[in-house]
Amino acid sequence: MHFLYKRREFITLLGGALAAWPLAARAQQAGKLPTIGFIGGAPSTHGQWFATLVQRLRQLGWIEGRTIAIEYRWTEGRTDRAAEIAAEFVQLKVDVMVTVATDAVLAAKQVTSVIPNVFFVSDAVGNGIVTSLSRPGGNMTGLSVQQVELAGKRVELLREVFPGLRRLAIMANVGNPSSMVEMGDAWTAARALGLEATKLEIGRAEDIAPAFEVLKGGGEALYVVSHPLLNTNRIRINTLALGARLPTMHGFREYVEVGGLMSYGPNLPDLFRRAAEFVDKILRGAKPGDIPVEQPTKFDLVINRTTAKALGLMIPESFLLRADEVIE
């Protein structure tokens, strides 16, 4: 009787230990490394951000090929591709997904309510990804990139550099809910400043050049709503904008590196380092739904002075001093 009691007690304790055993330990016991599945837009933009995340994971003891495996996949801005990748990751039984952009996050949410998902989106509550930032619940948590919330600030900065601005064009991917909200907010901000605003709705890469044709003579500056589709085509967009002599405003530095005039947005390396800490907690047994969604704390204003000169724009010295980075 005493032996039976002890045996039951041991089984109960063992059951509790298994439930609390980190995902990583269970994956290794099953003979495979715990696996992270990355869904990004394109290697040319998201590749360097993911590298920052992987570097931080290494500092936390997770070394690719030794203590973790990583699967990288790229959507190139295609919603159908995001759904295919998310389904593939479910088949591969990855331990954690890291998803960038609303399309990828929603695709992952549709195919699994079990696999933990660390996301980067603009409006997690508004897009129905989580019910609350403080208690996301379910299998999702991550970081808000606050693209939508910064729309008005970006329009103001563009007007500050270009005080004679009267007509603003706003380009966005029509298939992305967050992009359309940001386009609407930028349009409202432009109208509030007395600007005439034009919406350029892009559904695929082939729509970009015709949009500039439509714009001819009808715009003096261009606000580009960041999205993997437009990120992938950012060199083409900036080349066409320079050809049309249009100053551009972007959400990320990566656009300004390749000829855009300026960007204002969250510091992405900082966000990706923080995402690594989310992944670390989950691999050690934390439930994603218990980890609050975090918001950016550092925002960068980046200006390309070479582009300004090419456009014949004289950017005030006081404005340049406020910039976090000036690309020459």
Q: pLDDT tens digit string along 234-278?
A: 999 999 999 999 999 999 999 999 999 999 999 999 999 999 999
Do residues 174 and 41 both lie within one domain?
no
Least confident of 11-20, 44-53, 224-233: 11-20
Question: CA-CA distance, 98 to 235, in Å (whole number)?
Answer: 26
Do residues 195 and 320 both lie within one domain?
yes
Span 48-63, pLDDT tens digits: 889 999 999 999 999 9
Residue range 190-216: average pLDDT?
93
pLDDT recorded at residue 44: 80
Do residues 246 and 284 both lie within one domain?
no
When the pLDDT of each residue in the chain is averaged and rounded to a whole number, the result is 88
What does residue 284 show for φ and ψ, rounded to 5 degrees? -95, 10
pLDDT at residue 201 greater than cutoff 80: yes
Q: Domain of 200: which CATH number? A: 3.40.50.2300
pLDDT recorded at residue 14: 38
pLDDT at residue 317 greater than cutoff 50: yes
pLDDT recorded at residue 105: 92
Do residues 138 and 212 both lie within one domain?
no
Domain count, the chain: 2
DSSP 156: H
Do residues 24 and 38 both lie within one domain?
yes
Beta strands (DSSP E) in the chain are 35-40, 69-74, 96-100, 117-121, 140-144, 167-173, 196-202, 221-224, 248-250, 262-266, 299-304, 325-327
Residue with tokens 């939508």: 148
pLDDT at residue 76 greater than cutoff 50: yes
Element (H, E) at 63: none
Do residues 247 and 311 both lie within one domain?
yes
Four-residue CA torsion sign, 204, 146, 224, 211: positive
Determine the structural domain holding residue 323 and report its residue range: 151-266+300-327
For the CA atoms of 34, 138, 151, 224, the dihedral, rounded to the nearest 10 degrees, stands at 50
Do residues 43 and 139 both lie within one domain?
yes
pLDDT recorded at residue 228: 85
Do residues 177 and 134 both lie within one domain?
no
Do residues 41 and 123 both lie within one domain?
yes
Span 113-172, pLDDT tens digits: 999 999 998 888 888 899 999 999 999 999 988 877 899 999 999 999 998 999 999 999
pLDDT recorded at residue 72: 96
* pLDDT confidence tier of residue 187, bands split at 50, 70 and 90: very high
C-alpha 64: how far from chain center = 22
Q: Percentage of residues in the chain with pLDDT exceeding 90?
A: 73
Do residues 18 and 157 both lie within one domain?
no
Least confident of 19-28, 156-165, 219-228: 19-28
Do residues 306 and 251 both lie within one domain?
yes
Do residues 84 and 170 both lie within one domain?
no
* Six-digit token string for 74: 């790229």
The per-residue b/e assignment along 176-206, b for 16 or more CB within 10 angstroms, e otherwise, is: bbbbbbbbebbbebbeeeebebbebebeeee
